Structure 1
Amino acid sequence: MTNALNLNAPVDTLAMEYTRDFDAPVAALYRAHAEPERVKQWLGPRGLTMDITEWNFKSHGGYRYRHSDEHGHYEFNGTFHTVRENEFILQTFEFDGAPDMVNLEYLWFEDLGDGRSRLRGRSICPNVEARDALLSSGMEGGMTEGYEKLDDLLKNL
């Protein structure tokens, strides 16, 4: 069973909010976000390879990674501001192709019982134009594909 991504981006706001349920315990979902070898298996759309050059997953830590395909590469970086195991991540997110357009991202991990969990997120963009650019870039399709890959990973944990 594939659970649907619910992405909401109200007009004229800086925020995008989403939820996605998973058929896995919250601890497994959290580990898939915390451990770089697992992150590499699911983050991003199909057809991209991922190289992580920095992954210091703790409060006040940072990350840097690169997605690549036949068209080139796309680099991203950020800071993990707050990390609470199995509960919450607050981080920044920046695409090197759009410098100074840093998003603030909140991730909440919710236990739904019966071995199921929910990821709830909010991304705050620096301006409406940056938010609209993300939405028009195919971000929703990339998130959907990434979470489908995450479903496959979680089945094997």
Structure 2
Amino acid sequence: MAETTHERVGEQSVVHRREFDARPEQVQRAHTTAELFAQWMGPRGSRLRIDRFEAHTGGRFDYTVEAGGGEAGDGEAGGEWRFWGSYHEVVAGRIVHTWELQQEPGRPTLEVLEFRELPGGRCALGITSTYASKAACDAMVESGIDGGMDEDFERLDEALAQLAR
């Protein structure tokens, strides 16, 4: 099973790294195709409601993760988390976007995703998340976002395996 690493770099940024058993184009497609994105974004037992998904340079997105009351057996109480943002650059091997969380409006996060080819048709994904302030970065790190991202990427592994069939 692949491992996601999370490294604090500076006061406002975290770098996440993960390798996938899929080509970079496939991993990027899973980030830019609404139907694929909905298969892996959010915790197990949740549903993704997409209101807007324009994954191209200059496009926008708006989606809500809807979690039922602990259906996944993880003790979660359920809830909704709405995210919206803009795509600043979507080109082969790279996505740059900003996003905001409804519960924390006015605190945009800048993310740069880089999809690198590895031997054997594999992909290394690097994500640099830069938060609006040191306090916002501290809060995100303390919230356990790493565990949520790990679960998303496990689900992405599963979605990519299905695509390969």
Class of the TM-score when normalised by the shorter of the 2 chains: over 0.9
Match of 2:152 among 132, 139, 146: 146
- Determine the structure 2 residue equivalent to 1:45: 43
**2:83 counterpart of 1:76:** yes
Letter aligned with residue 39 of structure 1: F
Q: Does structure 1 conserve the Cα–Cα contact (< 8 Å) formed by 2:14 and 2:129?
A: yes
Runs of 4+ in 1 over 6 A off after TM superposition: none
1: CA distance, partners of 2:25 / 2:17: 17
TM-score for the superposition, normalised by structure 2: 0.90
TM-score for the superposition, normalised by structure 1: 0.94
Unmatched tracts of structure 2, length 5 or more: 69-77
- Determine the structure 1 residue equivalent to 2:136: 130
Aligned-residue Cα RMSD (Å) equals: 1.0
Q: How many residues align?
A: 154
2: CA distance, partners of 1:108 / 1:72: 31
Q: Percent identity?
A: 32
- Determine the structure 2 residue equivalent to 1:92: 98
2: CA distance, partners of 1:76 / 1:14: 20
1: CA distance, partners of 2:41 / 2:99: 13
1: CA distance, partners of 2:79 / 2:5: 30
Encode CA deviations 1:7-27: one digit per residue, 9 max, x unaligned: 0014x6100111100011111
1: CA distance, partners of 2:143 / 2:121: 34
- Determine the structure 2 residue equivalent to 1:31: 29
